[in-house]
């Protein structure tokens, strides 16, 4: 009986040791999970910071012809016209962002200007006149209708441009200039235009619209179109060069 009672009063030692071992494992496991969780939170915060930094790097300022400056933070470069129309230019994230430049001098002692003298316009089938336009620092600084012989001239005013001007051109398609247009390639890649003869005859130099071209226009090239087989015939035409390296020939269906 004494031995049985003594046996009952002795607490087993093995379970206690095993219990201590389980407790240590739990603590170690919880510690590892905590470290992993904290690392995840830190990585998430870093990712958000990098995203915000990247977005800030894509901040874009668009300056309109009126002098209004609009800020954008976006993965697209866009421009906004006076009537609120938003034009998406290119995908900035993909590294394809591009905007036609305003050609201006970097030397304060000199200024750059671009000048266009149109082909002859026969107003009323009398003496020919020409339209002369000067672009300086992205705006039309001079517009004059003058007799081809210089005997008479009259100032004109181009109105309705929605962005700064990169380049001024004369464009059309056909065997004469009767249906030619004066085009303004803008810094937003669109081409605003006025009809040459109609503008000179009616003394109306308001922009009529922009060409419906699927792409961002960077330049225009005058080409001669003629049959490859050597047959008689041919005409002049204008080809618009796009920012992706493609080009498209002018067609009257582009007029808006």
pTM for the whole thing? Answer: 0.64
Alpha-carbon distance of 139 to 145, in angstroms, equals: 18
For residue 199, the surrounding DSSP H or E stretch is helix 196-202
Least confident of 30-34, 112-116, 222-226, 250-254: 30-34
Secondary structure (3-state) at 73: strand
Encode pLDDT of 1-57 as tens digits: 444 444 444 444 444 444 444 555 555 656 655 555 555 545 555 555 555 544 444
Cα radius of gyration rounded to whole Å, the chain:
36
Tell the burial category of 125 from Cβ atoms under 10 Å away from its Cβ (0-12, 13-18, 19+). exposed
Residue-level pLDDT at 98 = 86
Alpha-carbon distance of 167 to 114, in angstroms, equals: 8
* pLDDT at residue 97 greater than cutoff 70: yes
Residue-level pLDDT at 86 = 62
Q: How confident is the model at residue 137 (pLDDT cuts 50, 70, 90)?
A: very high
Enter the DSSP assignment of 214: S
- Taking residue 20's Cβ as centre, other Cβ atoms within 10 Å add up to 9
End-to-end CA gap in the chain: 114
Residue pair 172/179 in contact (Cβ under 8 Å)? The answer is yes
Alpha-carbon distance of 189 to 166, in angstroms, equals: 9
Sign of the Cα torsion 102, 106, 111, 112 reads negative
* pLDDT at residue 146 greater than cutoff 90: yes
């Amino acid at each position: 009986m004494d031995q049985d009672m003594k046996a009952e009063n002795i607490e087993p030692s093995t379970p206690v040791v095993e219990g201590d071992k389980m407790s240590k494992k739990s603590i170690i496991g919880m510690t590892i999970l905590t470290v992993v969780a904290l690392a995840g939170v830190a990585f998430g915060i870093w990712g958000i910071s990098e995203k915000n930094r990247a977005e800030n790097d894509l901040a874009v300022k668009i300056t309109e012809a009126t002098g209004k400056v609009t800020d954008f933070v976006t993965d697209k470069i866009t421009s906004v016209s006076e009537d609120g129309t938003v034009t998406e230019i290119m995908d900035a994230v993909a590294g394809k962002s591009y905007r036609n430049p305003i050609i201006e001098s970097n030397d304060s002692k000199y200024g750059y200007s671009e000048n266009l003298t149109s082909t002859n316009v026969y107003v009323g089938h009398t003496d020919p006149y020409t339209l002369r336009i000067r672009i300086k620092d992205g705006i039309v600084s001079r517009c004059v209708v003058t007799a081809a012989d210089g005997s008479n001239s009259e100032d004109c005013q181009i109105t309705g441009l929605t962005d700064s001007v990169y380049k001024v051109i004369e464009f059309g398609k056909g065997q004469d200039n009767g249906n030619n247009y004066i085009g303004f390639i803008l810094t937003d890649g669109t081409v605003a235009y006025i009809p040459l003869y109609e503008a000179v005859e009616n003394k109306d130099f308001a922009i009529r619209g922009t060409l419906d071209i699927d792409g961002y226009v960077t330049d225009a090239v005058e080409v001669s179109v003629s049959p490859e087989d050597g047959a008689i015939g041919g005409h002049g035409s204008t080809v618009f060069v796009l920012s992706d390296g493609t080009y498209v020939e002018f067609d009257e269906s582009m007029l808006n």
